[in-house]
Structure 1
C-alpha cells in the first residue's frame, strides 16, 4: 500500500473510453498553475504517456468522439475556467532529450526552446539562437511554426517525427506546409521529435547573439509577469499588432486583474487573481477597439481552449 500511495490515479481503472496505458492517467487534473497566465480549470483526464509506443496506443485506441487536446509548455495559452473536456495530453521525461549531431540538433518535443538554443551555442552551432526568445517547447514550436528575431522554425527544420494512430511518421518542412504561425499536421497527431539544422561557427559570436536576444526581450517584453506571450498575430503587410493596439489607446487597459501590458501592448498580463474569462474578455475588448479605430481585425495568436466557467 505504501509503495503506491503516491500515485492514487493508478489505483483505479482508466476512465471510460481511455485505453489502458503504461503512463500516468489522472482524473480532474488541475492545469491553471502550470500555465504561464496561472489561470484555468482542470482537465477531465490528463494523460502522460510513458513513451512513443504508449502514445501511439493512445492515439490508436482513443475513441474518435473523445476530444483530445495537446499541451506543451502552456506558454501561449488560455485555459478557460471550466477546464478541458475529454483527454488532455502532455509529454514529459523521455520526450525531452536533446542530442547534438553534425550540422544540427535532434530535440524531443518536450524540450524547451531555450534549452535547444543553449545546447547549440554550447557546441558552437549557430542559426538556432532565435529559439532563446520563444517561451515554449519544440513540439509547440513545430506545430505553430514559432518564430522570433527574424527567423522561424520553417527556416531550420529538417524533419519532424509525428505520432499518429497508425504509427510514427517523419515529415519534412514541405510536408508540414508551414505558413505564418501555422503548420499542417495530420488529424489527432502529436509531434514527438524534430531535427533542426545548425551551422558550425564562432562560439563567442553565437553566445553574444544569445545574450543580445535575452537583453532585447528583457528590455521590451514583460517576461517576468504572468503572461502568455504575443497575444495577436501581426496583420499582413508591415503593420505590427502592438502598434495598432497602441494607436487604439489600449496600452495599460484593464479588466479586473487582467491588464494590457504597459511595457509591450501586444502582451496581456495577470496582475494577480485574474480569471481566464477576464483575460480573454480583455483581449476581445482590445480587438474591438482596434477594429473600430483602424478597421483591422486582429487574429489571436494565443490559443484559447476549454469550457467557460
Structure 2
C-alpha cells in the first residue's frame, strides 16, 4: 500500500532526498519549506508543497491541518527541518541560542503536537524525528546543537510511550555524516573569541570561523552531518540516508532509536562507553549485564 508523508525542511539536503525517494517508491508527499519556490523543479502529481516556518507555532498548526485536509491522512511524519550552530558557549548570543532551539527543538515539537489529534483519529502513523549521533554524545563548539537534539530525544522518548496505546509509532533516526548543505551553507557560526582558536582548529581544522557575510544565505532545512573525531568529516550521499529511512518506515515494528549513516554506529558506541566510564567510578553503580 502507498503511504502519505509529511516532511519538513524538504527543499534541500536530506529533506529533498527523503521527498524524492518517497515519490519514487510510489508514495504521496506533503513537503514543506520556508520558500516553496525552492522546490519548483520537483513536479509530481503526488507532491504537494506548502510554505512553513517551523518556528511559527500558529503556522505549524494551520499547515499540518491543511496537509491532512489535502491528503486525508498522514502515515509518515518526518521532522527534518533544522540547522547546525557552531560556537563555544561563551561566543554565542542570546538570539543565536534561541533561534537554534526554536528551529531544531520547538519546531519538531510544534509539528508533532499539531499532528497528534489527527494521528489519534486515524489510529495510526509513524513520527520520525531526524536526530543525530550528537544527541548521544557531545562535541566542543556544538553545545547548542547538541542541546537541541538532546531535548528532541527527551520529549520524543516520552511521546513514544504516550502514543503506543493509540497505534502510533515514534522513531529517533540518529544520523551520521551525510554530504548535505547542513555542513556547508546551512551551518551558522558564532563570532569567534581568540582564546578558542585552538579548539576551533582541533575540531574544525581552522583557527577562525568562516565569514558569514561571504556565505550564501540559506533557510534552515536539512539535517544533519556530524563531524567525526579529529575534526574530519565522514560523509555519504543523502540517498543513502533516504534508503535507510524507507527501510525504517517499512518495518512493522520500528525501534525507538535507529542509527543511520557511515561512522554513526562507532560514534554512538564511543559516546556510550565514555558515559559508562564516568558511571563505573561510582562504587554504588553497577552497569547492567
TM-score norm. by structure 1 comes to 0.29
Q: Answer 1 or 2: which has greater helix percent.
A: 2
Q: Answer 1 or 2: which has greater strand percent.
A: 1
Q: Radius of gyration: which is bigger?
A: 1
